[in-house]
């Protein structure tokens, strides 16, 4: 009999909800916010007994109370024991999504050196060694952040949206901004990948996050796309902490 587990990943922009049956994800949705009724519906539908919550948002006491009614509930914090080791000077400041993505990468490809790119609200680039040691990485502004910054920090540049097709050379202010932001970010990430590969030749590159599809098709380097990488890591963290999992 399958034992369904609930994963809640509340990020800066979206809340991701997933249900795992022990072998695979049988439910995966994302939305700007959730209500307690949404969670209760999922719990009842799948007969959820265990759950994990990772959140960068202000704690929702009602949601915490609801999840504490389950047989096992884990609230992810920087002090939560992990299946990987952390080599980071300030682990208490380390983003929970970065920890989860690294854990997910290690579970998918153990004993491999992995560069993890999470293209979400921010872009993070992190290194995980073949020994399962998280070595830190880089935090970059996302595509949307760059569009907003050009508008907010200048007097005359408009707020531009993403183009369907990325212009190589802009012919007006709008397309020049689109070219600079889109091509600049792609080249920026490609540069990180190439720099890491010079030092670690046997490096596997994994990418996840909301902007995954943009970089999956535009980067020249060989990369592997894992849309549910963070959720995969959260399941592994839940199992690591629940001896009855």
User: pLDDT class for 239, splitting at 50, 70, 90?
Assistant: very high
User: Are the CB atoms for 142 and 211 separated by under 8 Å?
Assistant: yes
Kindly state the average pLDDT of the residues 151-165. Answer: 93
Report the alpha-carbon angle 71-76-78, nearest 5.
145
User: pLDDT class for 166, splitting at 50, 70, 90?
Assistant: confident
Please report which residue ranges of 109-152 form alpha helices under DSSP H.
143-152
Distance, CA of 224 to CA of 142 (rounded, Å): 20
How many angstroms from the chain centroid is the CA of residue 48? 24
Strands (E) located in the chain: 5-10, 15-20, 25-31, 50-55, 72-75, 85-86, 113-119, 122-128, 133-141, 203-208, 224-225
**pLDDT score for 61:** 85
| pLDDT tens for each residue of 62-90 | 899 999 999 999 999 999 999 999 999 99
In whole angstroms, how large is the CA radius of gyration of the chain?
Answer: 19
User: pLDDT class for 27, splitting at 50, 70, 90?
Assistant: very high
The catalytic residue among 9, 38, 87, 97 is 97
Give me the domains of the chain, ranges plus CATH numbers: 1-75 (3.30.420.40), 78-245 (3.30.420.40)
- Assess whether pLDDT exceeds 80 at residue 112: yes
Whether residue 97 lies in the annotated active site: yes
**pLDDT score for 216:** 87
Among candidates 2, 1, 9, which has minimal Cα distance to 238?
9
User: pLDDT class for 165, splitting at 50, 70, 90?
Assistant: confident
Kindly state the average pLDDT of the residues 159-176. Answer: 91
User: What is the sign of the dihedral through the CA atoms of 134, 140, 144 and 145?
Assistant: positive
| pLDDT tens for each residue of 184-207 | 999 999 999 999 999 998 999 999
- Assess whether pLDDT exceeds 60 at residue 244: no
User: pLDDT class for 1, splitting at 50, 70, 90?
Assistant: low
């Amino acid at each position: 009999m399958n034992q369904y587990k609930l994963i809640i990943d509340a990020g800066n922009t979206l809340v991701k909800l997933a249900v795992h049956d022990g072998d695979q994800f049988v439910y995966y949705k994302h939305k700007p916010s959730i209500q307690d009724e949404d969670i209760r519906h999922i719990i009842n539908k799948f007969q959820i007994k265990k759950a994990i919550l990772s959140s960068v948002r202000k704690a929702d006491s009602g949601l915490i109370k609801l999840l504490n009614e389950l047989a096992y509930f884990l609230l992810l914090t920087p002090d939560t024991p992990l299946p990987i080791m952390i080599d980071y000077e300030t682990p208490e400041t380390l983003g929970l999504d970065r920890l989860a993505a690294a854990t997910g990468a290690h579970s998918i490809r153990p004993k491999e050196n992995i560069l993890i790119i999470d293209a979400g609200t921010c872009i993070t680039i992190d290194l995980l060694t073949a020994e399962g040691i998280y070595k830190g990485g880089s935090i970059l502004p996302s595509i949307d952040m760059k569009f907003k910054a050009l508008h907010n920090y200048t007097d005359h540049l408009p707020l531009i949206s993403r183009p369907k097709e990325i212009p190589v050379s802009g012919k007006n202010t709008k397309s020049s901004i689109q070219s600079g932001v889109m091509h600049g970010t792609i080249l920026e990430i490609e540069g990180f990948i190439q720099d890491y590969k010079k030092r670690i030749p046997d490096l596997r590159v994994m990418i996840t996050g909301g902007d995954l599809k943009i970089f999956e098709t535009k980067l020249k380097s060989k990369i592997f796309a894992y849309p549910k990488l963070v959720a995969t890591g959260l399941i592994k963290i839940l199992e690591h902490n629940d001896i009855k999992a």
